[in-house]
A and B are shown apart, each in its own frame.
Chain A
Amino acid sequence: MSSRHAPGAGGPAPRGPLVARSGVAPETSRLYLGGRGCGTMGPPSRETWAQRLGAFRASPSAFMAGPEGEDLGRDLLIELRSEKLSEQTKVSLLALSLEYPAQLWPDAAAAEAAATSLLDTLVLLPPRPSALRRPLLLAATTVLAAGDALGPTSGASRRLLPLLLGLASGRDLGRGFGPASEQRPLQATACECLRELESCKPGLLGDCLGLLRRLLGQEGPVQPLSLLLALALRNALVIRAKAKAGLQGLLVAGDAPTPGGPWNWALAEEGGAHPQPQAPSWPAAEDEECGLAVLEPSPEEARELRAAVAQLLDSSYLLTPVAQAQLLWLLGWALRGLRGQPPVLFKPQLVRLLGTAQLALLHAVLALKAAFGEALFTAQDEALLLRRLTLAAQHPALPLPAHLFYLHCLLSFPENCPLGPAGEEAAPLLLGPRLGRSLLPSLLHDPMALLARLHLLCLLCAEDEEEEKGQGWSPQRYLGELLAGLRQRADLDGGPRALAALCFQASYLVVRCLATQPLVLTPLTHGLAELYRARPALAPHFVDLLDRVGPELGEPLRAVLRQEVVSRAGRDEALRWHLKILAKVADGNAPSATLGFLRAAAAHCTDWGLQQALLRVCRTLMRAGVREGLADLLQALARQLDDPDGRDHARLYYILLAHLAGPKLGVALGPSLAAPALTSSLVAENQGFAAVLMVQEAPAPIRLSVGPRRAAGPGPVLQLQVEVLEPVFSLELRFRVQGQLYAPLDAVHVPCLRPGRPCSPLLLPLQPRLPAPTQLSVRALYATPAGLTCHAHLPPVPVNFEDLFLPFPQAPDDGDKQGFFEELWDSCLPKGAESRLWCPLGPQGLEALVSRHLEPFVVVAQPPTSYHVAIRLPPDSRLLLRLEAAQAGGVPVALRTDHWAVLPLAGDYLRGLSATG
């Protein structure tokens, strides 16, 4: 610590012993270059700072976006060295940098520069006692760790780490670090800083385990050193296990980095950049266990490890309860799965911990229970732990949040031999009915405690059902009485919403746990119906409950609520609630009663809201398939309602009802496709109708292909094969010929197509106006199983030249075929055209070529050398071919046609034949 450094530009002159400062990246020095006096206001006073900090804290994002935001970080660092500000103000400035470093110095370079400046400020402090040293250390640590600047290339890190380690090990750092009286608190603070750095970069202290153990054994402060050692140990174990490497003498490693010497980043880099969970949640930790098993410490290493853990545990009593809990979590999960490390080490601590009322300690015991299970807790221990938990969950000396947490621990208790599926709340087996009964819910409990205890009671009821029915006390009856009490409270006129919510939450919880118990559900259903009778204003809760429960409660509850509503006169004050309920529960059952109620109610629906509510019920009935009577009601509403919007709506519904078949109506009235979230809004609803009733553009689920040619009949016919990817109904295929080459084509209809079920080919007669190939564009119109009408464009279907070929009506069988052909041949000229070309033959030869492509059109054949072919081309052209004297590579073809335009097509066709095989 003897070397001097040059202060950054604009920084104050050094006045005391300094620590070496390694190079600062050039771009970071702008922090200083902006320098003092750059702001417009001059150095802010204490009051200005208080205002500024207040404004910042009120909304950091708004402040940073404002004009002052940019300079805040820089000003803060400069002001820390100002002699005008009191230490108290400077501490509050440092508090800001502890909380908001990311806002003040947003990138790694700025964080590095800020940390460097903070360290400079620290070493420049006069040697008298100062309240700034601790917060400066904390701030430098926070800024480095939070700003992603911690690493071997960071100069500030290279300064801070040895400094912290020096302080933590109680080394004399010279008078610059304050009077001797300040050393002890600084030592503890340095340990905390190192612990935080180790948390953010596991493995950072991998080299210091031996040193820390020695310090703990000597005079160091117990708590900070214990926690630091435990964390560093745990991280080292995990990293080594991940790297599948041994401990390699980590625990007895000699000295820590020498002052000024290079820091060993090897283990931290081995651990990767990511922090390690210090106390991983249980399910996540399962994997890690396998990882730790890789570590196979030598007997000597295992002994050292045990000694280190025992050393930590032995002095754990000296730690504050929360720190003890942290230590147990760290060590418990560090040793789990590690060979040769018996969990018995923890045993001496357990009895002491089980007796306390301290939440963190009992929680840590539960963590040990989860980590080691039977290896540390026998069945008797487990029973004792459960008794203590049950006791703590209701102890009058403990606060409510602690009770609730213990109740949660009971329901998620890590049992030695769990029966149910993992991760689900269950009553532990050893809890038993006696202990369980001590946690019964009562109306006097706080709502959360009531729900937690109710859950336990439900679980006990579920078990009770499986066991024999005992005499005397019945949990089901108790549950029924409790629910009745809750309903009575929800019924309180003017009672807060929370009471109603509690009643419904309890009912929901019961249904979820006990859906199969009619003994519970039947009274619940009737009780809820009574509650509705007494307080219809709870309708939103009922609707919500119906939305969430299964059919076990949902169906009977719907029925009784419907009954409850329709049996009333329509002019009730609570009409809007009745309509709300009815819109939820109306169905095809007993529609006449529902319609009667609606007819009576219509007269009292005087405002828009009520009319809409009424129409919503109509809509529900339409969806349920009710027709009879509903049409009359809608017609009446279309005339009778005051509001034009309501009338229009009624009319629309009436038209829909009159014109659409059941399934289509169901889809039309289903949740709006256009804006599913806005079902109640009229506009959205109409958009929904429009979407449903109009033809939808859709990607085609249909594939069309051209099948084999059929050269027969009076005109050319295209055979189409259709395949579908999903069921399609009422398919209409529309074809259009590009240009005027063909007469318009008729549409093809298919009633129903299903995937995987082949349909007979579709025949599409073509009426060419000229003998020319073309493409047909295809559109499909069809209905989906959901009732939507869709429209799709399909890929165009090609019509090839050869698709138009038709044979001549045959010459008489016995007649002079040759003569017939010659006659045709001669008739082509002089109007037509003649040509000769070379038709290349593939390896298969002429005979095969003819039989494959031209068979139907051959008039005279002298296989294998000579064929005369006559082709009729609709509408009224002909093409005649003489294929004679075939040679090895091809055959010379003489061709004539009466339509000159056919020649090039025929030429292309013939030349392409051999290519198509």
Chain B
Amino acid sequence: MAQRAVWLISHEPGTPLCGTVRFSRRYPTVEKRARVFNGTSYVPIPEDGPFLKALLFELRLLDDNKDFVESRDSCSHINKTSVYGLVIGGGELWPVVAFLKNNMIYACVPLVEQTLSPHPPLISISGISQSFELLFGIQDFLFLGQKNDTELNTKLNQLPDLFLQACPFGTLLDANLQNSLDSINFASVPHPQKQPAWRVGTYKGKPQVSISITEKVKSMQYDKQDIADTWQVVGAVTCKCDLEGNMPNVTISLSLPTNGSPLQDILVHPCVTSLDSAILTSSSIDTMDDSAFSGPYKFPFTPPLESFNLCYYTSQVPVPPILGFYQMKEEEIQVKITVNLKLHESVKNNFEFCEAHIPFYNRGPITHVECKVSFGQLEVFREKSLLVWIIGQKFPKSMEISLSGTVTFGAKSQEKQPFDEICIGGTAYLKTGN
């Protein structure tokens, strides 16, 4: 269940090493157990330098990955999880849990309490999920609400102290590092018995509960008879409960609007104390009769002090909020594009902002754009091969807008232009955001 070592590495393509270790922490008492448990298959935790090199190679993040290298590119070197084996000093360091997010590589090595050859299945290693929780926890701490590099550096500098708190001996005590930071600050407040470990401190003041629901729509529209369009809503319910008492009990009940589609694939926060089995079984995968549970969806819980995601869900909407049509015709170095967007009448025509992004991949730089928009304005980002159609805060009364014109591209130079493995030739997409 314990971790042998943790690293945070910033990925810096173009520099000689392609990365820098920003933070690392080793756990010698765990290492000592690893040596006993792993026996002859034991490989010690390397120093930062060799680890960085081996990890970047394995993750294909070195600049030099043009040639075929058997140990990485062989067809039998199949990786289906974010768990890697790194060849270091003649031995294989395994399991290394690692992933890249926001140009930061999160990595750690959990303790495996048995021999490593052959590799035991990951599912049977308790440390693996703890590794993920730790790394997700660090990621949330660094990037939730983070605005700039200075703030990131401040947070990175707080990590050693936080680790003393949240993971003093390699066994993770709380993946919510912000909590640990708060508990350092709250250290002097006397804790009553029966206070959850994830509810640090107490709230004093006016009781209030705020709830916000965020929904994102993912839709694929084919404009073809034989292929049905698909769309899915992904929702999150976020709560902030300012309530006095050690363990206030709150129940939030979500009801669907009239004719609303049922919520499916519900995942709840661990503070939820019990769940209706209909909530557990309602899923989008397997639309059995009993899965059409239309609420009310009750969530009894004791809230943590901070803002948290009470639950996530998916849902099917009857129609997508924006119906789109995008056509692209290729004529040598030019493409002719036509875009029509139509806002559905059931959607409130009032946005903070609304934009449509039209990227072009696997082509040379944009040299000339001749486009007409029926509404809003068009911006051209030549170096990014991107057109941004700024629609603004409202659609016009007709609810329909269109864009048409031609885009001319220069000669293709491999290095700089955006590459995409899907958008080849006439395959392209347009992304609306609001």
A residues whose Cβ falls under 8 Å from a Cβ of B: 57-61, 91-92, 95, 98-102, 129, 134-135, 138, 141-142, 145-146, 148, 181-182, 184-185, 189, 192-193, 195-196, 199-200, 218-223, 274-275, 277-284, 315, 317-326, 329, 351-352, 354-364, 366-367, 370, 384, 387-388, 390-392, 395-402, 404-405, 407-409, 412-414, 423, 434-435, 438, 443-444, 448, 451-452, 455, 488-489, 492, 494-501, 504-505, 507-509, 540-541, 544-545, 548
Contacts and interface: CB of A to CB of B under 8 A. Distances in A.
B210 to A, nearest CB: 20
Given A223-B173, A544-B74, A397 B267 contact: yes
Given A221-B191, A281-B120, A497 B312 contact: no
A142 B113 CA distance: 19
A274 B116 CA distance: 18
Contacts of B274: 351-352
A361 B422 contact: no
Given A280-B113, A357-B268, A504-B75, A448 B81 contact: yes
18 contacts: A101-B28, A141-B169, A145-B32, A196-B171, A200-B29, A223-B173, A281-B113, A282-B120, A351-B274, A352-B272, A352-B274, A358-B270, A361-B270, A391-B284, A397-B312, A407-B80, A435-B286, A548-B74
Contact of B80 (A57, A321, A448, A504): A448
A387 B285 contact: yes
A168 to B, nearest CB: 14
Q: Would you list the 4 A-B pairs with minimal beta carbon distance, nearest first? A: A277-B113, A357-B267, A397-B312, A363-B129
Interface string B253-288: 000000000000111111011110101110111100
A492 B421 contact: yes
A396 B314 contact: yes
B27 to A, nearest CB: 8
Contacts, number: 345
Nearest to B291: A387
B283 A391 contact: yes
Q: Which of B81, B82, B265 has the most CB of A within 10 A?
A: B81
Given A360-B133, A489-B422, A505-B78, 13 more contacts: A141-B169, A195-B169, A219-B193, A277-B113, A319-B196, A321-B175, A321-B198, A395-B314, A401-B135, A404-B80, A405-B82, A451-B80, A541-B68
B414 interface: yes
Interface stretch (B160-168, B335-343, B368-376, B392-400): B160-168
B225 interface: no
B265 A391 contact: yes
B190 interface: yes
A404 B81 contact: yes
A322 B285 contact: no
Nearest to A436: B285
Given A320-B175, A494-B414, A356 B272 contact: yes
B75 A501 contact: yes
Contacts of A135: 164
Pick the most buried of B65, B132, B218: most chain A CB atoms within 10 A of its CB: B132
A19 B133 CA distance: 40
Nearest to B272: A355
Contact of B281 (A91, A134, A195, A387): A387
B48 A356 contact: no
A362 to B, nearest CB: 8
Contacts of A444: 422
Contacts of B414: 494
Contacts of A57: 24, 48
B77 interface: yes
Contacts of B195: 222, 318
Nearest to A354: B280
Given A185-B187, A358-B270, A138 B164 contact: yes
Contacts of A399: 99, 101, 136
A236 to B, nearest CB: 18
Given A146-B28, A412-B121, A358 B133 contact: yes
A192 B68 contact: no
B175 A322 contact: yes
Contacts of B175: 320-322, 360
B242 interface: no
Contacts of B269: 356-357
Nearest to B139: A399
A323 B173 contact: yes
B161 A91 contact: yes
B284 to A, nearest CB: 8
Contacts of A398: 267
B365 to A, nearest CB: 15
A142 B29 contact: yes
Interface of B: 1-2, 24-29, 31-33, 36-37, 47-49, 60, 65-68, 70, 72-82, 97, 99, 101, 112-114, 120-126, 128-130, 132-136, 160-161, 164, 168-169, 171-176, 179, 183, 187-188, 190-191, 193-198, 216, 218, 232, 234, 236, 265-270, 272-275, 277, 279-281, 283-286, 312, 314, 362, 414, 419, 421-422, 424
Contact of A390 (B28, B179, B285): B285
A61 B47 contact: yes
A541 B72 CA distance: 11
A508 B272 contact: no
Nearest to A508: B75
A391 to B, nearest CB: 5
Nearest to B79: A448
Given A95-B160, A434-B285, A505 B33 contact: no
A501 B268 contact: no
A402 B83 CA distance: 11
Nearest to B299: A355
A289 B125 CA distance: 17
A505 B79 CA distance: 9
Given A223-B197, A275-B36, A324-B270, A395 B68 contact: no
Contacts of A129: 188
A315 B247 CA distance: 13
Given A99-B26, A99-B28, A351-B275, A395 B265 contact: yes
A78 to B, nearest CB: 22
Given A146-B28, A275-B33, A320 B174 contact: yes
B169 A181 contact: no
B283 A405 contact: no
Contacts of B421: 443, 489, 492, 495, 499
A641 B24 CA distance: 57
B80 A395 contact: no
Given A423-B121, A434-B286, A495-B419, A408 B81 contact: yes
Given A146-B28, A281-B112, A492-B421, A401 B285 contact: no
Contacts of B285: 387, 390-391, 434-435, 438
Nearest to A444: B422
Nearest to A409: B123
A278 B113 contact: yes
Contact of A448 (B82, B136, B314): B82
Contact of A329 (B1, B31, B183, B286): B1
Contacts of A407: 80-81
* Max chain B Cβ within 10 angstroms of own Cβ: one of A317, A322, A494, A509: A322
Contacts of A414: 123
A227 to B, nearest CB: 8
B234 A396 contact: yes
B99 A400 contact: yes
Nearest to A485: B422
Nearest to A329: B126
A58 B236 CA distance: 43
A100 to B, nearest CB: 7
Contacts of A317: 196, 273
Contacts of A435: 285-286
B395 to A, nearest CB: 26
Residue among A102, A278, A398, A488 facing the most chain B CB atoms (10 A cut-off): A278
Contacts of A192: 168-169, 171, 173
B190 A184 contact: yes
